[in-house]
Amino acid sequence: MQLDRALDAYLRHVTIERGLSAHTIAAYRRDLDGYRSWLDEQGIDDTAQVTAAVVDRFVAERAASEPPPAATSLARLQSSVRGWHRFLAREGIETDDPSGRLRPPKAPRRLPKALTIEQVERLLAAPSPEEPLGIRDRALLELLYATGARVSEAVGLDVDDLAHGDVLRLRGKGSKERIVPVGSYARAAVDAYLTRVRPGLAAKGRASAKLFLGARGAPLSRQSAWLVIREAAERAHITAEVSPHTLRHSFATHLLQGGADVRVVQELLGHSSVATTQIYTHVSVDALRDVYATSHPRAR
């Protein structure tokens, strides 16, 4: 099959049948567009011409490029290529999967960086309670920390998603929905935003069901939410790196440190596998080890 047709067929498959998120599909498209361009340069215009040696050569060239790609980027690229060829073989478009022997590089295990509880409290208190956007920002930050929501999930919330009082409906990766509790602090902050600020913001733009709105009334973007977090960190004089995922990491870590079961945290985070959640248990073990080393008289 011609490369363009084969690639379109695969992207339709992951979009419609697998229901992957727009961000994941965009990443697949970027990776596979680069792969297809490389195949064009090799004089290959049909998927039947792709052999295991061709795939190996492509991966080797990418791994040796300057600057060298991160292990995670190379692993994602190999996953994209492998997924495409596996699809073509499974659908009977091609007889063989030339990517079958690919083994992605092992990415270094990186522990999530969580803030301390005191740092989180400073971060949440940073937005001005006297300014409309400060009230909105406080509601956003409180909600992120209270629920462990991804930033994309938070900005994707509709007002109706809060209709059940002390729980919230989140839409995660692959359009999967989950229900999470909302603490009293977050609920109070969101209620203040809904009654005092959101009506005024909504009047400035077109009617939108989204919970969080920007200064001109349009739905708040992920980039704008990232700026809210960064500015709050600066106001709170937090020198540690604070990213859009920081509050999610802190949510999980603090729950585990407080005695929550890892499978409960898995459900709250929306992880499909408990193995993904278990990385946070290492953070808690490290914290316990540090406390033991500094507190026990015979630890050293």
State the average pLDDT over residues 192-210.
92
Q: Which of 122, 169, 245, 282 is catalytic?
A: 245
Q: 145-184: string of b/e by CB count within 10 Å (b at 16+)? A: bbbbbbbbbbbbbeeebbeeeeebbbbbbeeeebebebee
245 is a catalytic site residue: yes
The verdict on whether 101 is a catalytic residue reads no
On the question of pLDDT at 273 being above 70, the answer is no
* 103 is annotated as an active-site residue: no
Confidence of residue 285 (pLDDT cuts 50, 70, 90): low
Task: State the pLDDT at residue 297.
Answer: 60
Lowest mean pLDDT among 40-49, 159-168, 196-205, 283-292: 283-292
* DSSP secondary structure, 194-233, as one string: HHHTHHHHHHHSS---BSSB-TTSSBPPHHHHHHHHHHHH
Q: Residue 245 — pLDDT band, cuts 50, 70, 90?
A: confident
Q: How confident is the model at residue 101 (pLDDT cuts 50, 70, 90)?
A: confident
Say which residue, 172 or 137, is predicted with more confidence. 137
pLDDT of residue 282: 58
Tell me which of 169, 173, 178, 282 is the catalytic residue: 173
Residue 29 a catalytic site member: no
- Give pLDDT, residue 289: 61
The answer to whether 183 and 146 are in contact (CB under 8 A) is yes
Peptide bond connecting 244 to the previous residue in cis, omega within 30 degrees of 0: no
* pLDDT at 279 exceeding the cut of 80: no
pLDDT tens track for 53-85: 999 999 889 888 878 787 778 888 888 899 899
Is residue 114 over pLDDT 70? yes
Query: What is the rounded distance in angstroms from the CA atom of residue 107 to the CA atom of residue 104?
Result: 9
pLDDT in tens, 175-184: 678 888 888 8
* pLDDT at position 122: 95
254 is catalytic: no
Q: Which of 150, 171, 249, 254 is catalytic?
A: 150
Average pLDDT over the chain reads 84
Q: Is the pLDDT score of 164 beyond 80?
A: no
> Tell me, what's the pLDDT at 100?
82
Distance CA 254, CA 171 (A): 23
Count how many residues are written for the chain. Answer: 300
Active site residue 196: no
Question: What pTM does this model have?
Answer: 0.61
pLDDT at position 141: 96
Ramachandran quadrant class, 2 (left: phi over 0; alpha: psi -120 to 50; beta: rest): beta
